[in-house]
Amino acid sequence: MTQGADRARLPAWLDPAGLDGLDPAQLGGLGDMSPGQFRAAAHATVDLLADYLEQVEDFAILPRVEPGALRARLPAEPPEDPEPIGAILADVPGLVEPNATHWQHPGFMAYFATTSSGPGILGEFVTAALGQNPMLWRTSPVGTELEQVVVGWLRRALGLPDAFDGLLTDTASTSSLIAIAAAREAAGLDAAARGLAGRPEIGAPVVYASEEAHSSIEKACMTLGLGRSACRRIATDDAYAMRVDALEAALAADRAAGRTPIAIVATIGTTSSTAVDPVPRIAEIAAREALWLHVDAAYGGAAALVPERRGLFAGWERADSIVVNPHKWFFTPLDASLLLSRRMPSLRAAFSLVPEYLRTLDHETPVHDFNEYQPQLGRRMRALKLWFLIRYFGVDGLRRRVDAHCRLAEQLAADVDADQDFERLAPVQFSTVCLRWRPAKLTGREEEPDVRARLDAANERLMAAVNATGEVFLSHTRLRDRFTIRVAIGNLRTEPRHVARAWALLQAEAARLGP
């Protein structure tokens, strides 16, 4: 199936033509790859991947491919007969890399980065081979207890009190869903047992989040049977942070209408502009109204490693639950999201279900069975890669890297502010800069629809031109209905020169496009 591998890196013995007769899959055996073949193929894979990571900067970050082009090159019918492992591995440089969006490229500054750090990759490799399933303590003592240890390490590194315990999930979407499901139970709705339909005695539940909160909150409401309509989007202030007066008004209106507020989601580091909701005041309201407070710090949380930046997190220690994603700014390969809560029994009430075939007979010592706290039964061992990388970098190493990214963003913000043809659209509190091109010649009154439309179109063209260079990948959002370019720094491999290059490209492409 190999087509056009442009990097011939496979040792000769792994050449497809050289493997005939060596392969148990071809010899009629019914087991796995032989241990010797696994060892050899895995060493070859190491070199493929080390070469890739060494050379990743040579790729255009966004592959220059049309949708459907790769699919069209592959057979619709699955192969009936075995292929040699050498042929399969040759497709990594031949087909996979040329069609990948290079998240590991140091110029990847779109969305929020997910870095597969070296120790994280090794952790995933070990995890795959051991094949643990820490759904029960019994099915993986090491998976279960390393997760308890790593959850504790992260909690302490973030400066949160002992009252928080937690678990590792796949994504912030799942972590927030679990938090809101727990809020449903904590509110006394008994939704896990009785559901929400056909119960005239309960008012429609409502979850509050700012209009800048992540889409995963609305999606959790959809999934949980609350509905998108249950997600009350609260207006934000000039810095895109939740307006407490608007929250109070919404709460009062919903109470008056007989609805049942159950949770407030405060964000520390929103997706569009990394805004910080006023958590201390929101926590007071949550306490007064007996609502579950969930803090979404999926991206921003890592900055709590840095004592000087902990002011951004004031009040989060009062939350009922907090999500921070190691697979964002903790350099952990997908997937790993940390959900912390001081009310673990509510999580368990939302998800515990123990059929006979999952009862273990060794309950003389109480054990922690993680499946009781999440929607899924089976689960990957996500703790090992974190155990590897926290030890490899050390908390101080992680802290210095996160801080360095923030400083890079602050420098870029200063550069943007100093350029009369560019405009910064949001405060820079973490490592993301929101900006737009606003050439002096194009500037009119913003309120004129024509001016706004021309600025939007110009910035869309500018971003496309910068991304087309392949050296940098930026994404966009809308802030106050303005097309906004985001430069999100947080990739472990990004150095000062890459941020400087992104800024130089924005300036150069803007000059080239003209006003």
Number of residues in contact with its own copies under rule CB under 8 A:
177
Task: Pick out residues in 464-493 that bind its own copies (CB under 8 A).
Answer: 464, 475-478, 486, 492-493
| DSSP structural state of residue 361 | S
CA distance 252 to 259: 10
Contact between 121 and its own copies by CB under 8 A: the answer reads: yes
Q: Specify whether the CB–CB gap between 266 and 279 falls below 8 A.
A: yes
What residues contact 448, with CB distance under 8 A and at least 6 apart?
none
235: phi then psi, degrees, rounded to nearest 5 = -60, 155
Task: Pick out residues in 151-180 that bind its own copies (CB under 8 A).
Answer: 152-154, 156-157, 170-174, 177
- Whole-angstrom Cα Rg for the chain: 25
Task: Pick out residues in 373-412 that bind its own copies (CB under 8 A).
Answer: 375-380, 384, 388, 390-397, 400-401, 404
Among residues 446, 457, 495, 508, which is the contact residue for its own copies, using CB under 8 A? 495
Collapsed DSSP state (helix, strand, coil) of residue 63? coil
Q: Torsion-angle region of residue 131: left (phi > 0), alpha (psi -120 to 50) or beta?
A: left
Binding track over 2-21 against its own copies, x by CB under 8 A: --------------------
Contact between 218 and its own copies by CB under 8 A: the answer reads: yes
CA distance 241 to 261: 20
- Shortest distance, CB of residue 41 to its own copies, whole angstroms? 6
Q: Which stretch binds its own copies (CB under 8 A): 2-10, 41-49, 285-293, 414-422?
A: 41-49
| Strand duo 292-296 + 260-267: pairing | parallel
Among residues 109, 168, 187, 220, which is the contact residue for its own copies, using CB under 8 A? 220
DSSP 99-134: GS--TTSTTB-SSS-----HHHHHHHHHHHHHT--T
- Shortest distance, CB of residue 458 to its own copies, whole angstroms? 14
- Single out the residue of 489, 32, 128 nearest to residue 274, CA to CA: 489
Contact between 202 and its own copies by CB under 8 A: the answer reads: yes
Here the tokens at position 367 are: 């054990």
Q: Which contiguous run of DSSP H or E holds residue 345?
A: helix 344-351
Task: Pick out residues in 319-378 that bind its own copies (CB under 8 A).
Answer: 327, 331, 333-335, 350-351, 353-358, 361-362, 365-367, 375-378
- Shortest distance, CB of residue 280 to its own copies, whole angstroms? 27
Contact between 111 and its own copies by CB under 8 A: the answer reads: yes
Among residues 59, 90, 94, 97, which is the contact residue for its own copies, using CB under 8 A? 97
- Shortest distance, CB of residue 413 to its own copies, whole angstroms? 19
Contact between 25 and its own copies by CB under 8 A: the answer reads: yes
Contact between 507 and its own copies by CB under 8 A: the answer reads: no
- Shortest distance, CB of residue 249 to its own copies, whole angstroms? 21
Q: Specify whether the CB–CB gap between 263 and 291 falls below 8 A.
A: yes
Task: Pick out residues in 413-452 that bind its own copies (CB under 8 A).
Answer: none
Which C-beta is closer to its own copies: that of 45 or that of 469?
45
Task: Pick out residues in 242-281 that bind its own copies (CB under 8 A).
Answer: 259-260, 271-272
Q: Which stretch binds its own copies (CB under 8 A): 26-34, 233-241, 275-283, 443-451?
A: 26-34
Contact between 33 and its own copies by CB under 8 A: the answer reads: yes
Question: Which residues are bridge partners to 475 per DSSP?
Answer: 486
- Single out the residue of 190, 183, 277 nearest to residue 230, CA to CA: 183
CA distance 64 to 66: 7
Which C-beta is closer to its own copies: that of 33 or that of 442?
33
| DSSP structural state of residue 381 | -
Task: Pick out residues in 122-151 that bind its own copies (CB under 8 A).
Answer: 122, 124-133, 137-143, 145-146, 148-149
Contact between 45 and its own copies by CB under 8 A: the answer reads: yes
- Shortest distance, CB of residue 196 to its own copies, whole angstroms? 4
- Shortest distance, CB of residue 342 to its own copies, whole angstroms? 18
- Residues 255-281, buried b or exposed e (16+ Cβ, 10 A)? eeeebbbbbbbbbbbbbbbbbbbbbeb
Q: Which contiguous run of DSSP H or E holds residue 284?
A: helix 279-289
